[in-house]
């Protein structure tokens, strides 16, 4: 009698818990994917850039970052936040009118 | 920035306050000699050449398809410190845009500020800011979010809120005091973005001067394309009616957020300044599609949260939030001991973005090699990190050249997937076909859209060669208009250990005629009363035409025509509502029994702005004769 009860109980447990466990694992997996939100450490220095000449920023289609300081100094950074040395002098140029 | 990467800069003319100098540079910063008659610049009046008061530009927009330049900002016509909104427009040559009639102004009332503007997907202009209802000498002083939409010619867009403009009030202190006695908050819209469905997301702050502890709240509203608050934004929140107030950063001045962007999933990303260990930090916050905090936006799975703080070592304030390649670049200023410095950080959004920058337009052909940017686990999953085909793109996805031209996804194994951000032009039924090749056949794959099964699983036929392509019909699917994510998923390998070589997905509008039948199966019998909500079955373009795919009234029928329940106090029943120019509904009826007799047509309708509320009216001078 007890054995029968125990085996039934185990059967019930396995059917109830198994989807829960599976759900928890799936939840953990999706959480890990979604958590691909965060500081992108491949950008600049460990995710950040600190440089001279702040200003209004815009992106070019390849991800390069343009920053306009006032109306006269334009600097460009690569998509990864490094000064774009192919732009002006070491990545910055004075605009001429 | 223009879509061709040329740089356009607007600056005030130091010698004439009525004029603006537009200058253009090549993508690499050289003076663009093809602009302004050879010297790369042009001087033109802005915001009305005869304005006497100050003129302030808040935002420049450039239309991606024709490079038309819009300036949005403020003017003070009486030079008395009270401001109206102003718009000017210029052709890509820099000449004033003739269709724009020189200047558009919006006079909200006492005074207003325009803080941001954006172009919608259908090339309208949405401007946001604040309208001060009265000045500080009055007891009921209040500021509201002010939003206006203009057509491409600068005229108020009457399909937005009836007159092209609307106000949103948030009320004070909603989190600490859900039922404030005084509903006069200072609500200032600071940034605007448009999502994939042309919904408008406006972010700003609310200020309660009576709250000493936390006077500033972040306030966000989402509007449907017709200007109504989107009730699916903020359910369970303080209003549940399209408005959300959040505590992101307190005691921060100037108030934040400063910018907002919409991710492909329609989640909301905000850039704010918040108090950290040493002065302010960048705070990037992700909200779910319904406006609640997205607690999966975190560097650390053991410390979930919706906000990420970034400290640059000074007093750091973000300014701009820009999306690229599934990442968010935030730029701003760090105030330290020395000069203000440029501060930039990049964040992973966890979402892919379209390859080439714009979604793949459907109906049309989706080339499988043009999967989204965003990397492994976000835009695709591949068994290994190497492009085994070695061509076209430098990712883990395996791309091969097709001998007859183009590229295919090769070495496709069960469990791998690639995803594609698409834009469906119009809701409807579409036929799906996949072009593929397989040496043996027998593998299976499926298509998903927005996380749900779209088509499949389908068994790959044997085409007898990895380069011998054939078309597999995937069946018919109903697609709703707007931005979606399609995912190609490998389900099972065949005997060779691969699924197939995949070339493209062709999506075509279903051309088979949908039968038009009377609602309920029985044609309406005349004479009698026809309930307008009982339009025929048959769907969009057959039985009706509606501007949006959704039933905006949400009542009675699950189709695109908008049906709203009439309140019991007004007699009950249902009515067609949100009716716009160009929309129509059709009804199958049995001709009246008396041939040649005349009948009157009477319409029962309600229209508050038409001066007629809930009444019968004869429609048209000529009676209907059978």
| ipTM of this predicted structure | 0.70
Give me the mean pLDDT over the B461-466 stretch.
94
- Say what the pLDDT of residue B600 is: 78
C-alpha distances in Å from residue B216, one per residue of B140, B204, B554: 19, 10, 35
* Interface contact A67, partner B, CB < 8 A: yes
pLDDT at B439 over 90: yes
Given B23, B310, B324, which is nearest A63 (Cβ)? B324
Q: Are B423 and B196 in contact (CB under 8 A)?
A: yes
What is the C-alpha separation between B42 and B26, in angstroms, rounded? Answer: 15
* pLDDT (mean) for B420-429: 87
Compare B113 and B104 and report the one with higher pLDDT: B113
| Structure tokens belonging to residue B414 | 């069960």
Query: Which tokens is B142 given?
Result: 């209040």
- Here the tokens at position B604 are 């029962």
Query: Using the beta-carbon criterion (under 8 Å), do B343 and A49 form an inter-chain contact?
Result: yes
Query: Strand B482-492 to strand B444-449: parallel, antiparallel, or no bridges (unpaired)?
Result: antiparallel
Q: What is the pLDDT of residue B610?
A: 46
Radius of gyration of chain B (CA): 28
Q: Would you state the pLDDT for residue B515?
A: 73
- When pLDDT is cut at 50, 70 and 90, the band that residue B85 belongs to is very high
pLDDT-based confidence at B251, cuts 50/70/90?
low
Contact A39, B308 (CB under 8 A): yes
Q: Which of B9, B298, B310 sits opposite A37 (nearest CB)?
A: B298
Instruction: Yes or no: say if B345 and B273 are a contact pair by the CB < 8 Å rule.
Output: no
Is the separation of the CB atoms in A50 and A82 below 8 Å?
no
Q: What is the pLDDT of residue B114?
A: 96
> Which range scores top for mean pLDDT: B277-281, B457-461, B525-529?
B457-461
Over its C-alpha atoms, chain A yields an Rg (Å, rounded) of: 28
* Average pLDDT score over residue span B478-487: 88
Closest CB to B7: pick one of A37, A42, A66: A66
User: Cα–Cα distance between B624 and B595 in angstroms, integer?
Assistant: 11
Torsional class of B582: left (φ above 0), alpha (ψ -120 to 50), beta (otherwise)? left
Q: Report all structural domains of chain B as residue ranges with CATH numbers, in order of start.
A: 256-351 (no CATH), 360-509 (2.60.120.260), 519-625 (no CATH)
Q: pLDDT band at A27, cuts 50/70/90?
A: very low
> Is the pLDDT at A20 greater than 60, yes or no?
no
Residues of chain B above pLDDT 90, percent: 46
Residue among B10, B19, B29 with most chain A CBs within 10 A, to mutate: B29
Instruction: Give which of A25, A34, A86 to mutate to test B binding, by max B Cβ within 10 Å.
Output: A34
- What SS3 state is found at A12? helix
**Is A85 near chain B, with CB under 8 Å?**
no
Highest mean pLDDT among A12-16, B338-342, B559-563: B338-342
- Bridge partners, residue B424, by sequence: B362, B482
Annotate A22-51 with three-state secondary structure: HHHHHHHHHHHHHCCEEECCCCCECCEEEE
Q: Closest CB to B344: pick one of A38, A65, A86.
A: A65
Q: Contacts from B455-459 at CB under 8 Å and sequence distance 24+?
A: B456/B489, B456/B491, B457/B491, B457/B492, B458/B434
Residue A83, pLDDT above cutoff 90: yes
| B21: closest chain A residue by CA | A97
pTM: 0.72
Residues in chain B: 626
Q: Looking at residues B28-55, what average pLDDT do you find?
A: 87
Residue B558: its pLDDT value, please? 77
Whether pLDDT at B64 is above 80: yes
DSSP state string for B244-266:
EEE-S-SS-SS-S--EEEE-TTS
Residue B428 — very low, low, confident or very high, per pLDDT cuts 50/70/90? confident
- pLDDT of amino acid B193: 97
* Calpha distance B355→B419 (Å, rounded): 10
- Is the Cα dihedral B32, B26, B331, B374 positive or negative? positive
How many other β-carbons are positioned within 10 Å of the β-carbon of residue B183? 13
Q: Which two tokens stand for residue A38?
A: 């965060």
Beta carbons of A36 and B286 less than 8 Å apart: no
Tell me what pLDDT residue A3 has: 32
Of B227, B226, B228, B101, the C-alpha closest to B581 is B226
Residue B267 reports pLDDT greater than 50: yes
Higher-pLDDT residue of B118, B326: B118
* For residues B210-217, average pLDDT: 73
Contact B135, B143 (CB under 8 A): no
Inter-residue contact B270 to B219 (CB < 8 Å): no
- Find the mean pLDDT for residues B269-278: 87
Residues of chain A with Cβ-Cβ distance to B332 below 8 Å are 54
Per-residue pLDDT band at B514 (split at 50, 70, 90): low
Beta carbons of B187 and B173 less than 8 angstroms apart: no
Tens of pLDDT along B586-598?
998 887 777 677 7
Question: How far apart (Å, rounded) are the C-alpha atoms in residues A9 and A3?
Answer: 10
Q: Work out the number of other CB atoms within 10 angstroms of the CB of residue B542.
A: 15
Q: How far is A70 from chain B (nearest CA, A)?
A: 9
**Would you state the structure tokens that stand for residue B434, as one six-digit string?**
């996949």
Mean pLDDT comparison of B5-9, B134-138, B207-211, B601-605, highest-scoring range = B5-9
Identify the pLDDT of residue B135: 57
Model confidence at B240: pLDDT above 80:
no
Q: Give the mean model confidence (pLDDT) for residues B474-482.
A: 86
Q: ∠ at Cα B454 (B504, B297), nearest 5°?
A: 95
Q: Which of B277, B348, B346, B283 shows the shortest CA–CA distance to B310?
A: B283
Query: B21-28: long-range contacts (C-beta < 8 A, 24 or more apart)?
Result: B21/A97, B22/B69, B22/B90, B22/B94, B23/A95, B23/A97, B24/B94, B25/A74, B25/A95, B27/A60, B28/A86, B28/A87
Whether B340 has a pLDDT exceeding 90, the answer reads yes
pLDDT of residue B607: 64
Report d(CA B360, CA B449) in Å as an integer.
14
What is d(CA B390, CA B399) in angstroms, rounded to the nearest whole number?
6
Q: Reply yes or no on whether the pLDDT at B492 is more than 90.
A: yes
CA distance A14 to chain B (A): 27
The pLDDT of A43-57, averaged and rounded, is 94
Read off φ and ψ for residue B416, nearest 5 degrees.
-80, 155
Task: Band the pLDDT of B386: cuts 50, 70, 90.
Answer: very high
Residue B341: pLDDT over 90? yes
Domain parsing of chain A, residue ranges: 1-37, 40-97
Residue that has been written with the tokens 């940034």 in this structure: B191
Comparing A62-71, B132-141, B372-381, B458-467, the range with the smallest average pLDDT is: B132-141
* CA distance linking residue B126 with residue B118, whole number of Å: 5
Separation between Cα atoms, residue B501 and residue B604, nearest integer Å: 60
| List of chain B residues whose C-beta atoms are within 8 Å of the C-beta of residue A75 | 342
> Which residues in chain B touch residue A27, judged by CB atoms under 8 angstroms apart?
none
* Calpha distance B261→B195 (Å, rounded): 9
The span from the CA of B546 to the CA of B610, in Å, is: 21
How does DSSP classify residue B442?
-
pLDDT for A10 equals: 33
Q: Is the pLDDT of residue A52 over 80?
A: yes
Q: Helix or strand or coil: residue B348?
A: strand
> Quick check: B445 pLDDT over 90?
yes
Which member of B21, B296, B347 has the closest CB to residue A31? B296
Query: Cβ contacts (< 8 Å) between A60 and chain B: which residues?
Result: 1, 5, 27
Does the beta carbon of A73 lie under 8 angstroms from any beta carbon of chain B? no
Residue of B41, B299, B301 with shortest CB distance to A31: B301
> What residues in B contact A37, CB-CB < 8 Å?
286, 296-299, 308, 347-350
pLDDT of residue B521: 81
Residue in B29, B324, B340 nearest the CB of A88: B29
3-state secondary structure of B111: strand
Assess whether pLDDT exceeds 90 at residue A43: yes
Per the omega criterion (within 30 degrees of 0), is the bond before B457 cis? yes
Answer yes or no: are the C-beta atoms of B415 and B381 closer than 8 Å: yes
Q: What pLDDT was estimated at residue B52? A: 77
- Work out the mean pLDDT of chain B and round it to a whole number: 85
**A92 touching B (Cβ < 8 Å):** no
Mean pLDDT comparison of B71-75, B474-478, B535-539, highest-scoring range: B71-75
Q: Is pLDDT above 50 for A29?
A: no
Ramachandran angles phi, psi of B328, nearest 5°: -120, 120
Residue B136 is predicted with a pLDDT of 56
What is the per-residue pLDDT for B301?
A: 61
Mean pLDDT, residues B124-144 taken together: 78
Q: Pick the closest to residue B220 from B184, B250, B183, B259 (CA basis).
A: B259
- How many interface pairs between A and B have CB atoms less than 8 angstroms apart? 152
Backbone φ and ψ for A26, nearest 5 degrees, come out as -60, -40
* Distance between CA atoms of residues B188 and B202, nearest Å: 10
Name the DSSP letter for residue B454. Answer: E
**Other C-beta atoms lying within 10 Å of the C-beta of residue B623:** 11
pLDDT at B434: 96
The span from the CA of B162 to the CA of B153, in Å, is 18
Chain B hits for A39, Cβ within 8 Å: 299, 308, 310, 345-348
CA distance linking residue B555 with residue B87, whole number of Å: 39
At residue B608, the 3 state secondary structure works out as: helix
pLDDT of residue A30: 38
Per DSSP (E only), the strands in B425-515 are 428-437, 444-449, 452-459, 470-479, 482-492, 501-509
Return the SS3 of B568: helix
Rounded Cα distance, B162 and B148, in Å: 11
Pairwise pLDDT comparison (A3 vs B620), residue with the higher score: B620
Host H or E run for residue A15 = helix A2-34
Chosen from B31, B331, B354, B376 to mutate, greatest number of chain A CBs within 10 A? B331
Q: What is the pLDDT of residue A22?
A: 42
Residues, chain A = 97
CA distance A27 to chain B (A): 11
pLDDT score of A9 = 32
Q: Which residue(s) pair with B24 in the sheet?
A: B8
Among residues B176, B572, B333, the alpha carbon closest in space to that of A69 is found at B333
Q: What is the mean pLDDT of residues B527-546?
A: 86
């Amino acid at each position: 009698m007890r054995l029968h009860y125990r085996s039934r109980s185990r059967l019930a447990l396995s059917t109830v818990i198994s989807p829960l466990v599976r759900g928890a694992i799936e939840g953990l997996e999706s959480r890990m994917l979604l958590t691909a939100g965060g500081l992108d450490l491949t950008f600049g220095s460990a995710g950040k850039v600190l440089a001279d000449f702040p200003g209004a920023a815009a992106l070019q289609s390849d991800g390069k970052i343009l920053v306009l300081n006032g109306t006269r100094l334009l600097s460009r950074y690569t998509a990864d936040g490094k000064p774009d040395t192919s732009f002006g002098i070491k990545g910055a140029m004075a605009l001429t009118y | 920035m223009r879509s061709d990467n040329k740089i356009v800069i607007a600056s005030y003319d130091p010698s004439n306050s009525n004029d603006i100098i537009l200058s253009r540079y090549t993508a690499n910063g050289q003076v663009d000699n093809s602009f302004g008659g050879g010297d790369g610049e042009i001087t033109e009046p802005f915001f009305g050449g005869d304005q006497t008061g100050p003129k302030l530009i808040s935002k420049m927009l450039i239309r991606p398809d024709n490079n038309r330049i819009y300036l949005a900002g403020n003017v003070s016509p009486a030079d008395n410190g009270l401001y109206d909104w102003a718009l000017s427009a210029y052709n890509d040559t820099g000449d004033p845009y003739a269709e724009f009639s020189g200047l558009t102004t919006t006079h909200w009332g006492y005074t207003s500020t325009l803080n941001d503007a954006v172009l919608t997907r259908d090339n309208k202009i949405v401007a946001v800011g604040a309208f001060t209802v009265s000045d500080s000498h009055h007891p009921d002083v209040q500021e509201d979010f002010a939003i206006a939409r203009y057509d491409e010619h600068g005229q108020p867009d009457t399909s937005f809120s009836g007159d092209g403009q609307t106000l949103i009030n948030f009320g004070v202190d909603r989190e600490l005091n859900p039922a404030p006695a005084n509903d006069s908050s200072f609500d200032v819209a600071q940034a605007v973005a448009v999502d994939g469905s042309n919904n408008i997301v406006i972010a700003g702050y609310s200020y309660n001067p009576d709250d000493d502890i936390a006077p500033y709240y972040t306030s966000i509203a989402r509007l449907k394309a017709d200007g109504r608050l989107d009730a699916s934004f903020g359910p369970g929140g303080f209003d549940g009616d399209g408005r959300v107030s959040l505590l992101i950063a307190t005691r921060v001045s100037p108030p934040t957020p400063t910018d907002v962007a919409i991710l492909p999933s329609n989640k909301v990303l905000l850039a704010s300044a918040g108090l950290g260990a040493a002065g302010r930090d960048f705070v990037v916050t992700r909200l779910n599609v319904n406006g609640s905090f997205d607690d999966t936006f975190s560097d650390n799975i053991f410390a979930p949260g919706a906000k990420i703080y970034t400290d640059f070592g000074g007093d750091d304030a973000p300014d701009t939030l820009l999306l690229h390649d599934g990442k968010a670049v935030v730029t701003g200023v760090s105030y330290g001991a020395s000069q203000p410095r440029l501060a930039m950080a990049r964040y992973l959004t966890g979402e892919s973005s379209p390859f080439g920058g714009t979604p793949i337009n459907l109906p049309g052909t989706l080339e499988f090699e043009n999967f989204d940017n965003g990397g492994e686990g976000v835009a695709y999953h591949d068994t290994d990190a190497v492009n085994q085909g070695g061509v076209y793109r430098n990712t883990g996805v395996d791309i091969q050249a097709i001998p007859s031209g183009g590229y295919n996804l090769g070495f496709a194994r069960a469990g791998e997937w690639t995803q594609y951000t698409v834009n469906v032009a119009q809701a409807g039924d579409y036929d799906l076909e996949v072009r593929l090749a397989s040496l043996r056949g027998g593998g299976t794959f499926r298509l998903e859209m927005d996380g749900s099964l779209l088509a499949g699983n389908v068994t790959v036929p044997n085409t007898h060669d990895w380069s011998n392509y054939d078309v597999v019909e995937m069946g018919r699917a109903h697609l709703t208009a707007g931005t979606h994510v399609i995912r190609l998923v490998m389900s099972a390998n065949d005997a060779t250990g691969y699924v197939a070589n995949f070339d493209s997905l062709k999506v075509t509008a279903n051309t088979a005629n949908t039968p038009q039948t009377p609602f309920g199966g029985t044609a309406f019998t005349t004479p009698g009363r026809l309930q307008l909500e009982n339009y025929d079955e048959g769907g969009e373009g057959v039985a009706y035409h509606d501007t949006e795919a959704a039933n905006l009234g949400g009542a009675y029928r699950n189709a695109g025509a908008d049906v709203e329940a009439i309140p019991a106090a007004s007699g009950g029943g249902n009515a067609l509502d949100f009716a716009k120019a160009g929309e129509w509904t059709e009804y199958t009826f049995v001709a009246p029994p008396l041939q040649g007799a005349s009948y009157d047509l009477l319409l029962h309708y309600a229209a508050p702005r038409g001066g007629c509320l809930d009444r019968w009216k004869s429609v048209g001078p000529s009676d209907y004769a059978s």
